[in-house]
């Protein structure tokens, strides 16, 4: 197993659904930026030694981050979409740090509750394609259909035993993920996470069961829940 890992942390978005006046990664969580809490969690793992943070070219907040001057944190310019930012991050670590045929982790900046044990489980997976954290669906899953401009109803119920909610980190080989993202971009495919890029070229990663606490802060209520759960991290 690799002794140390890079993490790509895309953080160039604005998080419009948070309805905040700053990008959501810069909202405060227990006295720190949300992104700072996430970085702190990642660096607390003994095998994570470098993080490439993809920021907007117009980012006005990063210089106030607790990690802005840490030598383990490497800033690069992100892109228009998340997949573009990840692609730029892969280019950065390939070109600047000569990392190609090694596994890299990609994690959401707005998932500050990632636990050490989840990272351990992900790194322990030996699928050569890669792996991602995910949660088996608990609720009944409905597929919808649009019946009119303002109305949606149920089309069918899906078998939830085959449904998983994707999380991050996701672990893939640098060169394989880069090639998959490039091909998807050329084909104008919608790539919502790194796994979907590999899937589009016929590569199928393992699902590693994560925890419900590793949710993505997307809505205002999520920040409230993150504040409540943060003191309990790694205690359950």
pLDDT one-digit tens code per residue, 9-33: 999 986 555 556 889 999 999 999 9
Of 18, 179, 12, nearest in space to 81 by CA: 12
What's residue 13's pLDDT?
80
Q: Which two tokens stand for residue 5?
A: 């890992």
Higher per-residue confidence, 236 vs 21: 21
Please check whether residue 41 lies inside any domain of the structure: yes
Burial of 82 (0-12, 13-18, 19+ CB in 10 A): buried
- Rounded Cα distance, 186 and 82, in Å: 16
- Pure H helices in the chain: 34-43, 82-97, 116-124, 174-186, 194-199, 220-229
pLDDT tens, position by position, 56-86: 999 999 999 999 999 999 999 999 999 999 9
* Res. 3 pLDDT band, cuts 50 70 90: confident
153 inside domain: no
Report whether pLDDT(171) > 90: yes
Q: Is 76 within the bounds of a domain?
A: yes
132/2: higher pLDDT? 132
Look at residue 64 and tell me if it is in a domain.
yes
What's the mean per-residue pLDDT of the chain? 93
Coil, strand, or helix at residue 204? Answer: coil
Q: Which DSSP letter does residue 133 get?
A: E
What is the residue range of 170's domain? 5-135+165-232
The phi, psi pair for 157, rounded to 5°, reads: -100, 135
Do the domain assignments include residue 143?
Answer: no
Q: What is the rounded distance in angstroms from the CA atom of residue 83 to the CA atom of residue 170?
A: 13
- Mean pLDDT of all residues in 132-161: 91
Q: What is the DSSP letter of 222?
A: H
**Is there a domain that residue 141 lies in?**
no
Which CATH number do you get for residue 48?
3.90.550.10
Q: How confident is the model at residue 233 (pLDDT cuts 50, 70, 90)?
A: confident
Assigned domain for 159 exists: no
Structural domains counted in the chain: 1
| pLDDT computed for residue 2 by the predictor | 63
The structure's pTM equals 0.93
pLDDT-derived band at 212 (thresholds 50, 70, 90) equals: very high
Mean pLDDT calculated for residue range 122-150: 94
- The rounded distance, in Å, linking the Cα atoms of 141 and 139 is 6
Residue 134: band (very low, low, confident or very high) from pLDDT cuts 50, 70, 90: very high
Q: Give the model's pLDDT for residue 28.
A: 95
**What tens digit of pLDDT does each residue of 86-108 get?**
999 999 999 999 999 999 999 99
In a domain, 204, yes or no: yes
């Amino acid at each position: 197993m690799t002794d140390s890992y890079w993490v790509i942390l895309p953080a160039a978005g604005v998080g419009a659904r948070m309805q905040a006046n700053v990008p959501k990664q810069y909202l405060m969580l227990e006295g720190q930026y949300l992104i700072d809490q996430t970085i702190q969690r990642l660096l607390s793992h003994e095998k994570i030694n470098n993080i490439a943070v993809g920021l907007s070219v117009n980012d006005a907040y990063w210089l106030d981050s607790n990690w802005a001057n840490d030598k383990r944190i490497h800033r690069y310019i992100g892109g228009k979409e998340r997949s573009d930012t990840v692609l730029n991050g892969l280019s950065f670590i390939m070109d600047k740090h000569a990392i190609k045929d090694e596994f890299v982790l990609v994690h959401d900046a707005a998932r500050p509750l990632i636990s050490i044990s989840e990272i351990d489980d992900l790194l322990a997976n030996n699928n050569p394609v890669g792996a991602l954290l995910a949660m088996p669906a608990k609720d009944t899953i409905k597929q919808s259909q649009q019946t009119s401009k303002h109305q949606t109803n149920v089309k069918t119920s899906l078998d939830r035993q085959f449904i998983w909610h994707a999380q991050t980190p996701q672990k893939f080989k640098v060169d394989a993920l880069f090639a998959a993202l490039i091909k998807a971009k050329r084909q104008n495919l919608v790539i919502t996470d790194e796994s979907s890029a590999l899937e589009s070229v016929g590569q199928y990663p393992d699902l590693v069961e994560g925890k419900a606490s590793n949710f993505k802060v997307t809505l205002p209520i999520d920040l409230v829940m993150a504040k409540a759960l943060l003191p309990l991290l790694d205690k359950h």
